[in-house]
Amino acid sequence: MAATDLFHALTILPRSSTVDRVAERLRDLLLSGDLAPGTSLQEIPLANALGVSRNTLREAVRTLVAEGLLSRAPHKGIVVPSLTPDDVRELFEIRELLELAALQRACAQPNKILPALQEKVEGLRRAIAARKERDVIEMDLGFHQALLNVLDSPRLQHFHAVLISELRLALAFLDRKTRAGSVGQILTQHQQILHAVKLGDVERSTRLLMKHLHDSKVLLLQLLQGRKESES
């Protein structure tokens, strides 16, 4: 869907709307996959479509840029980020460093993190059963964000959250049919990691997490390649 066509479908926000509400509306559009990576968003038409001032829009955009869901590019203005294969490899390399460190702490203090991990695994199971694609992505990536909480470092959590947002954005737009075939495996892998953490088994949980991250990276690279071929 072209960005300009999408603007016509938007409804004007009430005058009482805050910057947070504008950011949430844009976040929904991005994570629904309606805006393709690489799309340039013109500030004036977008502000007019939402019925807000350009200053309000800019504040909302600033929030989404900090989350990794939007970026600003010279001569293009507001842009929906587009991941390259090299970006994906770098993101997963950093994720591996952060998440393995968190995993070791979690195995040493399982009671501190188990309720949050169990909640995400159960949410993932429900989302798969209900075939709610966006919820599957949220619960999958949310499991890893919950894992980072064990480090008690707001800076690391924020850094990791930005990485996850970039991946979430890419997954929202990529081929759902191809990804759908992997959801059963994703649930099994998260259940296995959870069980290993519960036992405090660092070696097994590390092996399982490494495999899960590797499989996720390979799948995302395949999806990106498939999208590139379909557009060429």
Q: Where are the domains of the chain?
A: 3-79, 85-231
pLDDT at 209: 97
The whole-number pLDDT of residue 232 equals 66
Angle at alpha carbon of residue 178, lines to 97 and 168, rounded to 5°: 40
Residue range 85-231 in CATH 1.20.120.530? yes
- Full-model pTM: 0.80
| Residue 215 backbone dihedrals phi, psi, to 5 degrees | -65, -40
> What is the third-level CATH fold of 3-79?
Arc Repressor Mutant, subunit A (1.10.10)
Q: What are the strands of the beta sheet with 77-79, ordered from one edge?
A: 40-41, 77-79, 71-73
**Mean per-residue pLDDT over the chain, rounded:** 88
Taking residues 31-58, report their average pLDDT.
Answer: 89
The torsion angles phi and psi of 186, rounded to 5 degrees, stand at -60, -45
Whether residue 1 has pLDDT greater than 70: no
- 115-154 per-position pLDDT tens digit: 999 999 999 999 999 988 888 889 999 999 999 999 999 9
pLDDT value at residue 16: 45
pLDDT tens-digit readout, 64-111: 998 889 998 877 789 998 889 999 999 999 999 999 999 999 999 999
